[in-house]
Amino acid sequence: MLSAVPEADELLQAAEISAEAVCFARDLVNSPGNVVTPQTMEADALKMGQELPLEITIMDEAAMQDRGMNALLAVGQGSVNPSRLIALRYNGNGDAPYTAFVGKGITFDSGGVSIKPDDNMGEMKDDMTGAGAVLGAMRAIARLGLKCNVIGILACAENMPDGKAQRPGDIVRAANGKTIEVVSTDAEGRMVLADAVWYACQMGAKKVIDIATLTGAVIIALGNETSGIVANDDELVEQIKLAGRMAGENYWQLPSLPECKEAIKSDVADLLNSAGRAGGCITGGLFIGEFVDKDIPWAHLDIGGTSTASKTEGFKVKGGTAFGTMTLIKLAGML
């Protein structure tokens, strides 16, 4: 019997907490864009801060403007729903270094002026899966009382076309001072993450892991069962892959080729926000890496192919999968 196994009750409780966190994240992903907005993500984080040992920091648009977070702000400037940068700090291990989990939180992605085809646009409510995974993971980490120090950061915006929206050809200066030529307003996830990973470094993180439904290219490369990794640190990659195996989530590292880094250079700015279809998963990840401090281990998880399931198979329920939530929980337990 389970009750006869030492620590069985503790193990069962940990499993229940982790499962609840995944379901919490799935509910966020499955909710439509008129229900989940940057403001509701803020409210969820604040509520968690009242109930759990989490220190919450909310940056509204004025605060982001003061910090020069123009890349994130550019994405949301066409929406009536103001953008938010949300940080949740968990201290479970004294003076140990912090690891940051940074999630893309585009609560609805129309593509902006570079508008998407209408056939599947309704599915773009799931473009905040990365932020949902981070929020769910932070919920579990705090409830489990894991011995680690983690910062969760949610880069939340809605990407909509409007007279105030950013345009292809615009040049934006990000918080770290680098300029970005906007080739496509539909390459918005890497722009919100640019300022968010920079902020993670500013908050003192010594490792940074971002997670995002970043590209369709990752589906072409790896299908719908495996997520891609682009990183600057092989040891961190192996930790993530191990955590993924423990969580039942698959990852594959993609090569950070010098040619791909050359592809994101602009003639009129420091960087292009889109380098075209070739190697799109790699170039998207390398773009984000340009905003992480050079001495900090960093990994980008592209969950563009694994964020939703078309049918129910076992524990994988049709709809939002909250892929990455369990990986982050397991990884936090390894820190």
Query: Rounded to whole angstroms, what are the CA distances from 206 to 6, 98, 290?
Result: 36, 6, 16
CB atoms under 10 Å from CB of 202, counted, come to 12
For this structure, is 116 an active site residue? Answer: yes
The conformational region for residue 183 under phi > 0 = left, psi -120 to 50 = alpha, else beta, is alpha
Q: Which residues pair with 229 in a beta bridge?
A: 253, 301
Q: Residue 203: CB partners within 8 Å, gap ≥ 6?
A: 87, 89, 98, 100, 151, 153
For this structure, is 190 an active site residue? Answer: yes
Of 67, 116, 261, 316, which residue is the catalytic one? Answer: 116
CA distance 244 to 228: 12
The interaxial angle of helices 8-30 and 129-144, nearest 10 deg, is 160
| Residue 48 one-letter amino acid | M
CA distance 249 to 89: 25
- What is the largest distance, in Å, between two alpha-carbon atoms of the chain? 68
Q: Which residues pair with 210 in a beta bridge?
A: 102, 300
Of 26, 89, 125, 190, which residue is the catalytic one? Answer: 190
Which residues are catalytically annotated? 116, 190
